Amino acid sequence: MTSDQQMCEDVHHVFQQLTGIGGEIPLHLLWQSPFTLHAKLIDAIRAEADNARAGKRARIVAKMNALLEPTVIAALYEASHAGVKIDLIVRGVCLLKPGVEELSENITVRSIVGRFLEHQRIFYFYANGKEDVFLSSADWMDRNFFRRVEVAFPIRDRRLKRRVIAEGLSVCLGDNQSAWVMQSDGHYRKCRSGKSMRNAQLGLLAKFCF
């Protein structure tokens, strides 16, 4: 729920579109498929790659249920090659292979399957320190980008943004009990438990985010 006027106008236009017969309606803040979501996401990934090439800090963290769309995967490989640190939390199927030399050395992929079926989709981009955070209904799949109506919306309130980062992303990156980490050959290895792994995970969080 929000009182953000631009966000509310965007939502109104989306429902106006769904109940009418018109085409794309320009939106202020929302990324919407099948119109802008895919292109905006690619732009955000490439912006991080450009920042890395310029010697700036660059970071992507994303949580979703599936990663299959080839153009997004190619953009992530390109960003990794440029030096962007990328952590992906993909609960289910993932076609991207992390840790491949000269391709995805800066990418990690982990799957966490716990007691409850989570449907959080959270996209984080460092964005020159602005730290853009989006919540979305869409997995990174062809059907979500091109054959469904989906939206991603930004978290604009700083306090809420910190909470989403802490509870939705950092907790998952620090998980050493339920996480399975994908290897470069596509196989998953159970994340080691214990104090040493916990300290390593906390060090990862302190070094790269947030």
pLDDT score, position 1:
84
Question: For residue 86, what are the β-bridge partners?
Answer: 60, 107
Q: What is the DSSP letter of 28?
A: S
CATH superfamily for 30-208 is Endonuclease Chain A (3.30.870.10)
Give the mean pLDDT of 191-208.
50
pLDDT at residue 197 in the model: 42
Coil vs helix vs strand at 19: coil
CB 146 within 8 A of CB 138: no
Taking residues 179-208, what's their average pLDDT? 68
The pLDDT tens digits of the residues spanning 80-107 come to: 999 999 999 999 999 999 999 999 999 9
pLDDT at res. 20: 86
> Residue 104, exposed/middle/buried by CB under 10 A (0-12, 13-18, 19+)?
buried
Note if the pTM is more than 0.75.
Answer: yes
Gap between the Cα atoms of 40 and 168, Å rounded: 22
Any idea what DSSP says for residue 140? B
Q: Work out the average pLDDT over 17-22.
A: 85
- Amino acid, single-letter form, for residue 46: R
Domain chopping of the chain, boundaries:
30-208
Query: What number is the average pLDDT over the span 152-164?
Result: 96
